Amino acid sequence: MKKFLKIIGITILTLFAILLIIPFAFQGKINDIVKRFINQNLNAKVEFTDVSLSFIKNFPQAHVSVDDLVITNFKPFEDETLVSAKHIAFTMDIKELLKKASDDPLVVNSIVVNEALLTLKTDKFGNANYDITKETENQVEADNNSSFTFDIEDYSITNSAITYIDEASAMQLFLTELNHEGHGTFSAETSELDTQTQTNVSFSLDSTMYLNNNSIKLDAIIDLDLANSKYTFKDNKGYINQLPIEFDGFIQLLEDGQDIDITFENPESDFKNFLALIPETYSKSIENVQTTGNFKVKGIIKGKVTDETIPTLDISLASNNASFKYPDLPKSINNIYLNTEIKNTTGNVDDTYVNINQLDFKIDQDVFKASATLKNITQNMLVNAYINGVLNLANLTKAYPIDLETALTGILKANINTAFDMEAIETNAYSRIKNSGTASITDFVFSSEDLNNPLHITNASMSLKADDVTLNNFEAKTGGSDINATGTIKNLMGFLLSDNTLKGDFYLKSNTFKVHDFMSTETEAETQENTPTTTEALKIPAFLECIIHANANTVVYDNLNLKNLSGTVYIKDQQAILENLKSSIFDGILTVSGDVSTKNDTPTFNVKLGADGFDIAQSFKDLELLQSIAPIAKFFQGKINTTLSFSGDLDNELSPNLSTISGNALAELLTTNIEEKNSPLLNKLDGALNFVDFSKINLKDLKTSLSFANGKVSVKPFNIKYDDINISVSGAHGFDQSLEYSAVLDVPAKYLGSDVNQLIGKINTDEANNITIPVTANIGGSLTSPNVKTDLTSGVKNLTAQLIEIEKQKLLNQGKTKVKDMLGGLIGNNNTKTDSIKNEQNNTVKNVLKDLVSDKKTTTDSTKTNSTQETVKNVLGGLFSKTKKTEEQKN
C-alpha cells in the first residue's frame, strides 16, 4: 500500500512538473499567435512587455496573458495612445495552441482585462482613432476566415476607464472606475447574457456639463438575438447615484445605425428619490431624511440613431408640494414644486429642448421661484430664464448639508429676466442679449484664503439692462479698510457662461484703504529645517478688463501713508496701467504713471515716478528704492524734486526686485542742509579734508542726473561749491552700498600758506589770487565703512607748472635779451639751476599739501614746515567758523 501511494505521488508530481515545463516550449508559439493576430487585423503600433502561458491557472485549459499592452495610432492620430492595459488574460483549449497559421481560427473561451484605459476620439473631419482594423478586398471572406472566434462563457473588465471625445459635436463622455462582467455565450444564434456594471459617468455637450462624476450601476439580463443583431433588456434595474431606475425595451443594430425602443421610470414615487438623484458627495446620507410629497421620473426613448436622426425623447421629472428635512439640521425646505421636460418630437437633434416649467421652494418665510427654457441645445442654444425670490443665505447651510469653510450670511433679493443665445454671449453681440431686473445683497460676509480678513458687504445693489449691469451701490469693509463703489459691468453673462472677459468701469472711493487687507496671508506648511519653500506670485486676473477711477483719503502700504490718493488704473490682459496717480506724502506730492504686468511667470513693471517737494530725510529713510539709489541723501535736511524712470522684475508680493531694476533719475535739491553727525562717510571726509566743513556746503538748487542697472548707480559729474572752492563729484555706487567716487577740489593758492605765497610773490604777487590746485579725494569701501584716499600728484604738478609759467611771463616782460637769457636758463641752458628751482618748488608744494589734507603731525617736520601748516590752518579757520580748531589755533 505504501508502495502504491508512493507511485501515485511520484506520478502526480511528474505531471505537475510537465505542466510547469511545457509552457516554456510553447512560449515562442504564443508570441507567434499574438503577432499573427496583430499583423492580420490591426493597422496600429502594438507593444507589450511579456506574453506568458500557463497550464496550471485554468487547468485543463491553457491560460495566455499579455502584460503592459499599448496600442498607438498612426496618422491622423499619430503617437496618440488608443489602448493601454496592464494585464489581459485569455483561456482556450490546449489544442488551439497546436494549430498552424493555415488552420481554422482560434477559439477563445474567456477574457479578463485589468487596469485598461481606452481613449476613443473622433476629430472635426470625421476621422475615428478606433478605426484601426485592416480592410480587405472581400470583407465577408475576411470575416469568415477571422483569426479568432469567441465562444465566451465569462468576461470581465476591472479598474478601467473609457474616454470618448467627439470634436465635431463638442461631446465628451468619461467612464471612470469601470468594473463590468458578463456571463453567457456568443456562439449560439440566440442566447442570454447576464451582466453587472458599476462606473462613474461624466458627460458634457457643447461645454455644458450634464453629468458630473455620477455613480451608475446596472444589473441587466440581455437576450441576444445574434442573427438579427437585436438585444432585448429584461429584469433590469439601474441606479443613477442612489436613484433606482427600471427599464425595458431593445436595441437593434442596423446597417445605417441603431433602432432603439426603451422606456424607464423610478419604481417608487417618494421625494427621497429626488435626493437620491443628487451625487452622494453633496446629498450625504439620505436614509434618515424626512420627506413629504412625491418625485417621479419617466421617459421614453424611441427611434433610429443614424447620421441624420436621433430617437424621439419624452422625459419628465415632476414633484408636487414636497419637502425634506435632514435630522441633524434645524431648518427644512418646503413647498417644493418641480416640473421639468426634456423632449424631441421630430428625431432631428436640433429640435431637442428642455423646459423647466417650475422650480419653487421655501425656507422659513423666504420664497424662491425660477423657470427656464433651453432650445437648440446642440448648436446655438437659446436660453430664456426668470428668477424671482428672496434668500437668507444663512438658512442654506441650516437646511441642506453644504460643506463650507465659513458660514454664509446675508439677504439676497433678485427679480431678473434674461433671454439670449450662446453665440451672442461668445461674440458679445449685445443686441441679442435681453436682460432686465434688479438684484441686491445686504450684510453679506465673504471669507477667502486670498484675504487677510473677511469682506463684509453691508449693502450692494445692481440693475440689469441688455448685457450691461449697473452697480448702483457697493459698500464694504475688511480689516481697517472701507470701500464705496459704483459703476457698470459689461459681459457678465459671457463671463459666467462662456469664460469670456469680464469688463467694467468703476468709481472707487475709500476713507482708509490698507493694501495689506487685500493680500493673502502666507501660510507655510511644516517643512524640514533648511528646506526651501516657494510661494505663488500674486496675479492680475486674466479674465478682467476694467477701468478703476480711484479716490482715497488715506492709503496704507507697508510703512507708507499716502494721503488724498487719486488716479486711474486700466486693467487688461493681466496688465495694470497706472495713469495720473497722485498722492500727498513726505510733505510733498507723488505722481506715478506706468504699468505692471503679471502675464509671464515673473511679474514685471515699468514706472515713471515724480516727487515734488519731498522731505528728503523722511522719504529716503522710508523708501527702500530711494535708499538704494541715493543712500547718502538720508543725511540731508530739506526738500527735493525728482523724477525717476525705472523698470524691472517684481517678487511674489509685487514688490520691486532691486537686483533687476534699471532706469534713470533727475534730482533737484531745495534748501538743503547736511546732518553729518551720524554719517561715517562725511566723518571720514572731514578727517581727510580738514579744511572743508561739510555741514556748511551749499547744496541749494543742485541738479544732478543718474542711471542705474544691474544693481549699480552711475552718477553723472556735478559741481558744488564751498565758499570759493569748486568741488566736482562723479562716480558710482551699488545697491549693496559699495562706493566708487572721486571728488576733485580746486583749492585757491592763497589758502596754501606763506611759503607757497612767498614763492608766488617772488614772481608776481598779483597772480597769487588766480592760482588754484586740484586735490582729489578717492572714496571707496561702503557707506557704513568708507575709506578716503587723497591724490596729490596732479596738484603738485599743476601748481609747479603754473609757477614756472608765471615766472616765464615775468621774464618775458623784462626784455627780449634778458628773456632769452632767463628762459635759456630755465629751459635748458642752465639745467642745474632750473632743476634746483623746480625741486625747491615741488618740495614746498608737497609739504603744504600734506599739511592741507591731513591732521597728523610729524615730529620730524622742521619748524618752518610747522609754521607753514599753522599759517594755512589759521587762514582757513578764520574763513570758516565751524572748522575744527585746536586750542593752540584759538590762542
d(CA 724, CA 599): 56
Q: What is the mean pLDDT of residues 402-428?
A: 85
**Interval 752-805: pLDDT, tens:** 666 666 666 665 556 556 677 788 888 888 878 888 887 766 666 676 776 667
In this predicted structure, the answer to whether residue 14 has a pLDDT above a threshold of 60 is no
Q: Write down the pLDDT at residue 566.
A: 93
Higher pLDDT: 651 or 140? It is 651
In this predicted structure, the answer to whether residue 3 has a pLDDT above a threshold of 60 is no
Q: Write down the pLDDT at residue 8.
A: 39
Domains of the chain: total: 1
Structural domain contains residue 181: no
Q: Residue 851: exposed, middle, or buried by beta-carbon count in 10 A (0-12, 13-18, 19+)?
A: buried
pLDDT-derived band at 877 (thresholds 50, 70, 90) equals very low
Structural domain contains residue 713: yes
Q: Write down the pLDDT at residue 413.
A: 94
Lowest mean pLDDT among 102-111, 457-466, 647-656: 102-111
DSSP letter (8 states) at residue 860: T
Structural domain contains residue 470: no
**C-beta of residue 407 within 8 angstroms of C-beta of residue 394:** yes
Higher pLDDT: 818 or 95? It is 95
Q: Write down the pLDDT at residue 15.
A: 40
In this predicted structure, the answer to whether residue 368 has a pLDDT above a threshold of 80 is yes
Higher pLDDT: 785 or 60? It is 785
Q: What is the mean pLDDT of residues 240-263?
A: 86
First to last CA, the chain: 140
d(CA 147, CA 135): 14
d(CA 859, CA 33): 110
Q: Write down the pLDDT at residue 125.
A: 82
Residue 266's region, left for phi above 0, alpha for psi from -120 to 50, else beta, is: beta
Q: Write down the pLDDT at residue 21.
A: 40
d(CA 736, CA 627): 10
Structural domain contains residue 627: yes
**Interval 312-346: pLDDT, tens:** 999 999 999 999 999 999 999 999 999 999 999 99
d(CA 56, CA 21): 11
For residue 477, what are the CA distances in angstroms to 455, 480, 509? 6, 7, 12
Higher pLDDT: 423 or 811? It is 423
Determine how β-strand 106-122 pairs with β-strand 148-166: parallel
d(CA 106, CA 40): 13
Q: Write down the pLDDT at residue 862.
A: 40
How much is the mean pLDDT over the chain? 76
Q: What is the mean pLDDT of residues 677-699?
A: 69
Higher pLDDT: 575 or 2? It is 575
For residue 106, what are the CA distances in angstroms to 32, 92, 96, 128, 153? 13, 8, 6, 28, 16
Q: Write down the pLDDT at residue 292.
A: 92
In this predicted structure, the answer to whether residue 122 has a pLDDT above a threshold of 90 is no
Amino acid at 708: F
What three-state secondary structure class fits 97? Answer: helix
Q: What is the mean pLDDT of residues 176-186?
A: 84
Q: What is the mean pLDDT of residues 546-564?
A: 87
Q: What angle separates helix 754-764 from helix 831-852, to the nearest 10 degrees?
A: 140
Which range in 13-27, 50-64, 465-479 is most confidently predicted, on average pLDDT? 465-479
Which range in 164-178, 743-757, 816-830 is most confidently predicted, on average pLDDT? 164-178
Q: What is the mean pLDDT of residues 46-74?
A: 77
In this predicted structure, the answer to whether residue 631 has a pLDDT above a threshold of 80 is no
Q: What is the mean pLDDT of residues 273-286?
A: 77
The string over 762-790, giving b where at least 16 C-beta atoms fall within 10 Å of a residue's C-beta and e elsewhere, is ebeeebbeebbbbbbbbbebbbeebebeb
Cis peptide before 76 (omega within 30 of 0): yes
Structural domain contains residue 624: yes
Q: What is the mean pLDDT of residues 205-222?
A: 78
Strand partners, 171: 166, 205
Q: Write down the pLDDT at residue 208.
A: 63
Higher pLDDT: 826 or 112? It is 112
Q: What is the 3-state secondary structure (H, E, C) of 27-93?
A: HHHHHHHHHHHHHHHECCEEECCEEEEECCCCCCCEEEEEEEEEEECCCCCCCCEEEEEEEEEEEEC
Q: Write down the pLDDT at residue 439.
A: 92
Q: Write down the pLDDT at residue 686.
A: 66
> Alpha carbon 713 to chain centroid distance?
32
Q: Write down the pLDDT at residue 529.
A: 45
pLDDT-derived band at 888 (thresholds 50, 70, 90) equals very low
d(CA 435, CA 494): 13
pTM: 0.60
Q: Write down the pLDDT at residue 602.
A: 87
DSSP 581-593: EEEEETTEEEEEE
Structural domain contains residue 198: no
**C-beta of residue 497 within 8 angstroms of C-beta of residue 482:** no
**Lookup result for grid cell 534730482:** 667
Q: What is the mean pLDDT of residues 604-630?
A: 81
pLDDT-derived band at 583 (thresholds 50, 70, 90) equals very high
**C-beta of residue 826 within 8 angstroms of C-beta of residue 804:** yes
Q: What's the domain range around 731?
A: 591-737
**C-beta of residue 360 within 8 angstroms of C-beta of residue 371:** no
Higher pLDDT: 358 or 137? It is 358
Provide, rounded to the nearest whole percent, the portion of the chain with pLDDT above 90.
19
In this predicted structure, the answer to whether residue 59 has a pLDDT above a threshold of 70 is no
Structural domain contains residue 653: yes
**Lookup result for grid cell 570758516:** 880
In this predicted structure, the answer to whether residue 636 has a pLDDT above a threshold of 60 is yes
For residue 267, what are the CA distances in angstroms to 67, 238, 341, 549? 44, 11, 19, 61
CA angle 609-615-617, nearest 5°? Answer: 105
What three-state secondary structure class fits 377? Answer: coil
Which range in 353-367, 507-521, 674-688 is most confidently predicted, on average pLDDT? 353-367
Structural domain contains residue 153: no
Q: Is the C-alpha dihedral spanning 836, 842, 848, 851 positive or negative?
A: negative
Higher pLDDT: 4 or 65? It is 65
Higher pLDDT: 188 or 479? It is 479
- Please name which of 481, 252, 497, 261 lies closest in space to residue 374, comparing C-alpha atoms: 497
**Interval 830-875: pLDDT, tens:** 455 555 555 655 666 566 555 555 443 333 334 433 443 343 334 3
Q: Is the C-alpha dihedral spanning 267, 269, 271, 274 positive or negative?
A: positive
